[in-house]
């Protein structure tokens, strides 16, 4: 292990595969990348991206039964998902015409099965997070040293174990003169704010609220599963925002909570979407009528799409602008391709700063799909260097820590 | 990390804390020990042993609800149990009048929540094992590098992920000239056989059959719970073995199965004990009589105690003697304190080899309680050295692997 570490650590650049599966639980993204340096001197370049879908029954478990999984399902998923992660890594390496022997390490986020940043369980009053996709299994299948399971170390130091991507954002997007927001719109929307020339402790990062999650859930519910998302924001564009309902939704306690803060499916998942539909019926006085979802679909989608936009803008106004300038907003995530989000966000941003630029990760040579997997490769690179890889101001941890665990392939 | 590894790896000896919690789920045993060398050159010495009990509600979850835990309970137990493990490590270090800065690393088995050596789940057809007690949490709380979660790597190479203790047995008890059986008598009895000067692939390890389990269950049943075990083997000594019944019990298919093999409560638990009592009544023609358990208790206990002894001896005769000499048998586990087992085993052994020695772990300076925690410290020491720590001939793995994961405290 020492010989390996000594060799890999001091190479001019390392070839790594970052592995990520988000809360949407579609499958695994594998990003082959070249990384040089450590800490603020890190440089990273995406070489290739590959994806592997989860088998359908796994995706079903992860989306519809995730809160009800039993201990046997957790144990088996930890191994089965690791096989999918390993397959994605090997596929990515092969597609890029590399050999396993060219690769220095794998860094894996794993698949989140549970995340409880509060000690609010009666019998087990402790904070916890659970990512599966066993790194020993990945290491043994791929033959590569594997770093992963980053969140628990931060949580053990009082942090939320999230968000973790801001560390990579600070490495990839920090600018000496510009204040930048890196705005990711996945199921949940989250931002990293990098003040001009910021030090790590000046980085601000938190979940702004729902991204695509509520929109997707509403579309799925009201089309009875015939549609799963609002492609390009077409439904939202064609609908009318219900302002009273929007105001009500914006009064959700999460939006007023002081950062650092994070949220997820528990707060803005299927249950929440169901409640929004019910509330829409009350707000429009439609609760007594026979209910034709098709008629109201567009307006509900417009309203929850606007909720995503408004919750981001409110966050900029309340928590970012008092701390520094917003010169550029760099969009990422699936929601960066939702025309409604982009158009409305641009309108709102121009009111905050008429010279603001709205960019995408693509403008920096990083595809949206590659971003998170790349981020975990960067966290893994820090682990290999024995250097901290959390942002305490974002997670709330008491101090910088070297997050992650290491498994050997030998 | 390199500086730490380089320093620790090359020290003449390392101070480590092994942490173990067994299936009885009472709490955590922490064993402070001094380890020098790696592989066959390993020497280990127990410095101190400490224990911390689980809170009662945790013990209840682990004994009565373990198969029904949900994903939230699994996630929270992973963190909560890690706090107990960390506490046990720190208590052990303090009681031994050491400082944390004197200690090189922690090695933790964790708490088994699930173990499925067969891919017999309909939806998730994959083999799996799940040990909780997050090593990042242990590392952050104690400030010590922590190695743990050993089983998955062996399983990823086709092994059963068990037994793991034979590796430690081979390190602690291997002798250049003597053939040794390390015979553990817990609920189930298991052995590790170390031929003289053996290489790792020559080690044989398997469960011989019942240890205390059937005796305890019979005593509990026939005394209606007033007694839970046969202290010192007093009941067995005072009874008479029913030879026809014993011959019948020894025809159990498990005893003829070829190693590697393992068994448990499913085969030799309460159900089995009930059947033995019924069979005793048939064999003695007592099934028609009014039944006074007190009259027959001693004879039944003598018979099932003899079953434990005979199944061990049969295993030696059938599976061990054809492979090498038995010069010493080293007893461990609770059953090593049952005078009947010890006396009868000695008689039988002398028939196999008139110069055989019957020893205990205590004769090697290792208390029964310390043994397993020490074993995991030895596995962790191998990980630090980057060397394999499974016994493929015992687990069934395709090859030797470096089991374990590493978490940093920085």
Domain ranges of chain A: 2-159+370-407, 166-364
Does A324 or B283 have the greater pLDDT score? A324
Do residues B195 and B324 lie in contact, with contact meaning Cβ atoms separated by under 8 Å? yes
- CA dist A147 and A150 (Å) reads 8
- CA dist B130 and B312 (Å) reads 30
The reply to whether residue B128 touches residue A75, judged by beta carbons under 8 angstroms, is yes
Cα–chain center distance at B288: 41
Mean pLDDT (whole number) for A39-53: 94
**B192/chain A closest Cα distance in angstroms:** 24
The reply to whether residue A136 touches residue B149, judged by beta carbons under 8 angstroms, is yes
Mutation pick from A68, A70, A71, A150 vs chain B, by most beta carbons of B within 10 Å, is: A71
Q: Collect all residues of chain B within an 8 Å Cβ-Cβ radius of residue A116.
A: 72, 75-76
Q: What is the pLDDT of residue B291?
A: 65
- CA dist A70 and A68 (Å) reads 6
**B218/chain A closest Cα distance in angstroms:** 31
pLDDT averaged over every residue in chain A: 94
Tell me what ipTM this predicted complex has: 0.91
The reply to whether residue B402 touches residue A408, judged by beta carbons under 8 angstroms, is yes
CATH number for the segment(s) B168-364: 3.30.420.40
Q: Collect all residues of chain A within an 8 Å Cβ-Cβ radius of residue B403.
A: 136
The answer on pLDDT for A289 being more than 80 is: no
Q: What is the pLDDT of residue A291?
A: 65
Residue A75 has its nearest CB partner, among B1, B75, B114, at B114
- CA dist B46 and B284 (Å) reads 49
**Closest-CA residue to B184 (of B155, B201, B164):** B164
Q: What is the pLDDT of residue A290?
A: 63
% of residues, chain A, pLDDT over 90:
85
**B319/chain A closest Cα distance in angstroms:** 31
Q: What is the pLDDT of residue A404?
A: 98
CATH number for the segment(s) A166-364: 3.30.420.40
Do residues A384 and A400 lie in contact, with contact meaning Cβ atoms separated by under 8 Å? no
**B370/chain A closest Cα distance in angstroms:** 27
The reply to whether residue B127 touches residue A156, judged by beta carbons under 8 angstroms, is no
Do residues B161 and B129 lie in contact, with contact meaning Cβ atoms separated by under 8 Å? yes
Q: What is the pLDDT of residue B99?
A: 98
List of residues 6+ apart from A171 with CB closer than 8 A: A40, A42, A44, A378
| Number of Cβ pairs < 8 A linking chain A and chain B | 201
Q: What is the pLDDT of residue A294?
A: 67
Percentages helix, strand, coil for chain B (3-state, rounded to 5) are: 50, 20, 35
Q: What is the pLDDT of residue B83?
A: 98
Q: Which of 3.30.43.10, 3.10.180.10, 3.30.420.40, 3.40.50.620 would CATH assign to domain A2-159+370-407?
A: 3.30.420.40
Mean pLDDT (whole number) for A133-145: 98
**B336/chain A closest Cα distance in angstroms:** 34
pLDDT string in tens for chain B (410-residue length): 899 999 999 999 999 999 999 777 789 999 999 999 999 899 999 999 999 999 999 999 998 888 899 999 999 999 999 999 999 999 999 999 999 999 999 999 999 999 998 999 999 999 999 999 999 999 999 999 999 999 999 999 999 999 999 999 999 999 999 999 999 998 899 999 999 999 988 999 999 999 999 999 999 988 988 998 999 999 999 999 999 999 999 999 999 999 988 888 888 988 999 999 999 988 887 766 666 766 789 999 999 999 999 999 999 999 999 999 999 999 999 899 999 999 999 999 999 999 999 999 999 989 888 999 999 999 999 999 999 999 999 999 999 999 999 999 99
The reply to whether residue A71 touches residue B114, judged by beta carbons under 8 angstroms, is yes
A77-81, A395-399, B147-151: least confident range: A395-399
- CA dist B364 and B41 (Å) reads 17
A23-37, A236-250, B73-87, B384-398: least confident range: A23-37
The reply to whether residue B405 touches residue A406, judged by beta carbons under 8 angstroms, is yes
Do residues B374 and B114 lie in contact, with contact meaning Cβ atoms separated by under 8 Å? no
pTM for the model stands at 0.89
State which fold the B2-161+372-407 domain adopts. Nucleotidyltransferase; domain 5 (3.30.420)
- Do A2-159+370-407 and A166-364 fold alike per CATH? yes
Residue A402 has its nearest CB partner, among B77, B404, B408, at B408
């Amino acid at each position: 292990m020492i010989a390996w570490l000594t060799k890999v650590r001091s190479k001019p650049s390392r070839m790594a595969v970052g592995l990520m599966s988000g809360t949407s639980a579609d499958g695994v993204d594998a990003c082959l990348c070249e990384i040089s340096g450590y800490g603020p001197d890190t440089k990273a370049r995406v070489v290739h991206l590959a994806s592997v879908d989860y088998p359908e029954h796994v995706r079903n478990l992860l989306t519809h039964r995730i809160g009800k999984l039993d201990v046997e399902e957790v144990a088996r998923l930890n191994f089965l998902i690791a096989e999918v992660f390993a397959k994605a890594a090997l596929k990515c390496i092969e597609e890029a015409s590399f050999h396993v022997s060219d690769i220095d390490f794998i860094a894996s986020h794993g698949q989140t099965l549970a995340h409880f940043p509060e000690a609010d369980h009666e019998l087990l009053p402790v904070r916890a997070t659970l990512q599966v996709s066993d790194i020993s299994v990945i290491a043994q299948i791929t033959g590569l040293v594997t770093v992963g399971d980053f969140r628990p170390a931060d949580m053990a130091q009082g942090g939320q174990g999230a968000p973790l991507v801001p560390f990579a954002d600070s490495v990839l997007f920090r600018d000496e003169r510009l204040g930048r927001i890196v705005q990711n719109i996945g199921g949940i929307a989250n931002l990293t704010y990098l003040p001009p020339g910021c030090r790590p402790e000046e980085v601000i990062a938190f979940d702004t609220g729902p991204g695509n999650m509520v929109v997707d859930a509403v579309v799925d519910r009201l089309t009875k599963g015939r549609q799963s998302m609002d492609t390009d924001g077409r439904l939202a564009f064609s609908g009318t925002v219900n302002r009273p309902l929007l105001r009500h939704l914006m009064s959700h306690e999460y939006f007023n909570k002081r950062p650092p803060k994070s949220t997820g499916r528990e707060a803005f998942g299927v249950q929440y979407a169901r409640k929004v539909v019910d509330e829409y019926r009350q707000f429009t006085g439609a609760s007594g009528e026979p209910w034709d979802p098709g008629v109201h679909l567009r307006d509900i989608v417009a309203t929850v799409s606007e909720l995503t936009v408004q919750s981001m803008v409110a966050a900029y106004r309340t928590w970012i602008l008092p701390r520094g300038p917003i010169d550029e907003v760099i969009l990422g995530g699936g929601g960066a391709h939702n025309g409604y989000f982009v158009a409305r966000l641009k309108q709102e941003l121009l009111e905050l700063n008429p010279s603001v630029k709205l960019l995408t990760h693509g403008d920096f040579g990083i595809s949206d799909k590659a971003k998170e997997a790349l981020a975990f490769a960067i966290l893994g690179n820090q682990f290999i260097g024995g250097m901290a890889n959390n942002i305490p101001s974002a997670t709330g941890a008491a101090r910088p820590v070297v997050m992650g665990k290491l498994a050997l392939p030998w």
